[in-house]
Amino acid sequence: MDEKSNKLLLALVMLFLFAVIVLQYVCPGTECQLLRLQAFSSPMPDPYRSEDESSARFVPRYNFSRGDLLRKVDFDIKGDDLIVFLHIQKTGGTTFGRHLVRNIQLEQPCECRVGQKKCTCHRPGKRETWLFSRFSTGWSCGLHADWTELTSCVPAVVDGKRDARLRPSRNFHYITILRDPVSRYLSEWRHVQRGATWKASLHVCDGRPPTSEELPSCYTGDDWSGCPLKEFMDCPYNLANNRQVRMLSDLTLVGCYNLSVMPEKQRNKVLLESAKSNLKHMAFFGLTEFQRKTQYLFEKTFNMNFISPFTQYNTTRASSVEINEEIQKRIEGLNFLDMELYSYAKDLFLQRYQFMRQKEHQEARRKRQEQRKFLKGRFLQTHFQSQSQGQNQNLSQNPSQNPNPNVNQNVTQNMTQNLTQSSGQNSSLKENQESQKQNPGQEPGDGHTSPGTSDYMGSVEKWR
């Protein structure tokens, strides 16, 4: 009894070890290790949760289709497609632009030299860039070129020297970053206070830059440094007002910078709808207030992973500016189009994030179910094999019950041979009997069946 218990215990231990080996072979990664430890560990905090210190529960306001939410770009860095970064002032675009050239896992990383702002971002095996941005190609279409400028300029810059018949069929994947309009406006004001002018911006629209009458300057000197906030808000030509809508819309729809083409109300409506449409159809856009979610959606969209995680900075120069409620309302009024665009963009952004996370969880659940089915099948297969091996061992260890280890096989083979021989002999017997009827005087001789054999064959035939 003790010997049988020991053998059973040993078999169970061996089966457990085999299952562990199979599990390690099927699922060697850290993800499966976390799954195995999930029952014994506390749930890990979600790194993407409540970045803006607001409620994690999000209630959508807009109805977007599945096509609007699912952003999956088949970007082949070795092909001809190009990522184009539309950099809006004071949205955190400089930080994101550095991530693009310094923080992405690539087969051939961008070559960034010390002391140089621009990096060389070539495709693997080609002397051609895959990224059109400030830190890769520079301001090739003008300082902080907008959507109207980039869509007409980038193809000409990239393939301008080639014959039109030899130009590849490229996909231009536009990306951008948006920011809360009030914070962005205050940040631009502080930047202008320090001497920023963006005089190098071309503002080309419909093939020409605006005239001085179409776009007057807000200051008379070399710059606007030291400008008070009230003076900054009072300038009616200040491009900081509704900058994000203007830079994302198609300005040719409203006569570019010529304000006399259509009434102001109609112009504003056309600009806002154009900006929303362009933003929705861009390959990707992120929000400054959601750095980790921005990283996540970019990685899922382009199937490109960053080396280091993005950092959420809750303290900026704009956040250090103390304004009262009256000034807050004034800035919101000056940027009412941007306020509407940002609300739309935030809703779409969070819905896309929610959709991609649910899709990821469903895929992970499907993989776990497949792994369980596979492991269950391997377990049952191993269990039956161990049982059959145990039965064979018992037969070999008990010769009294089975003196011949191959007795079952021999018995089967002998029975088959006997049945085959008996069938042949039975047919011969019938032929001899018929021949005896035809020749009654003939004695049985060689090659004929004897009476004893006939009796035996009759019994076998009856048994069959």
Tally of CB atoms within 10 A around 442: 11
Q: Residue length, the chain?
A: 464
In order, the DSSP letters of 416-433 are HHHHHHHHHHHHHHHHHH
User: Angle at Cα 242 formed by Cα 241 and Cα 244, nearest 5°?
Assistant: 130
Token output for 64: 């977007």
Q: What span, in angstroms and rounded, lies between the C-alpha atoms of 378 and 164?
A: 59
Residues annotated catalytic, as ranges: 144
Q: What span, in angstroms and rounded, lies between the C-alpha atoms of 23 and 17?
A: 10
Q: Fill in the amino acid letter for 347.
A: D
- Per the listing, tokens 């109300």 go with 265
Task: Kindly calculate the radius of gyration of the chain based on its CA atoms and give it in whole angstroms.
Answer: 41
Q: What span, in angstroms and rounded, lies between the C-alpha atoms of 59 and 386?
A: 56
Token output for 97: 């632009």
In order, the DSSP letters of 167-235 are -----EEEEEEE--HHHHHHHHHHHHHTT---TT----BTTBPPPTTTS--S-SSS--TT--HHHHHH-
Residue 306: strand, helix, or coil: strand
